[in-house]
Amino acid sequence: MKQIKSNDVMLRTVTRVVTFIILSFSLYLFFAGHNAPGGGFIGGLMTASALLLMYLAFDMKTLRKALPFDFTALISIGLLLAIGTGVTTMLLGYPFLTQFFAYFQLPIIGETELTTALPFDLGIFLVVVGIALTITLTIAEDDK
């Protein structure tokens, strides 16, 4: 029996809109993690699920052309960021992983607290995105 070729135009149109909403929500969760629920882990999982929705709606070949990242390299970049925030404070004469924070006047947002916990959280974010997508794509790529 011949397989009927399906045309999922509704899924692809919805995906184009919903992916932006999920990505902006994940960025909100990532930046809200200091004072509210959220943080690097759940923000990374939401980004991974947005990319996974694009992989569901389109196929693997198109997405490899659209997002030419090596997701295993993201893991090492994230680990380097997380370790680098610790080692930098060590080079300045403080103990490992000492945190600093200061208040700055940014042009649009106004007075903002910038901490060195943000690059550490960014490292966690990149590691979670890399690991989740590496696991999913490795399982999806094998032949049956």
Nearer to other proteins, 56 or 90 (CB): 56
Q: 104 and 114 in contact (C-beta within 8 Å)?
A: yes
Q: Which of 143, 140, 139, 135 is nearest to 74 (CA)?
A: 135
Residues 97-116: x where in contact with other proteins by CB under 8 A, - otherwise, as a string: --------------------
137, 60 in Cβ contact below 8 A? Answer: yes
Of 43 and 123, which has the nearer Cβ to other proteins? 43
Among 1, 2, 7, 95, binds other proteins (CB under 8 A): 7
Site for other proteins in 34-73 (CB under 8 A): 36-38, 42, 46, 49, 52-53, 55-62
> Is 142 among the residues that bind other proteins (CB under 8 A)?
no
Helix (H) or strand (E) holding 50: helix 40-57
Residue 56 C-beta: closest distance to other proteins, Å: 6
Q: State which residue, 29 or 82, has the beta carbon closest to other proteins.
A: 29
The rounded distance, in Å, linking the Cα atoms of 122 and 132 is 15
The Cα angle at residue 25 between residues 24 and 31, in degrees rounded to 5: 90
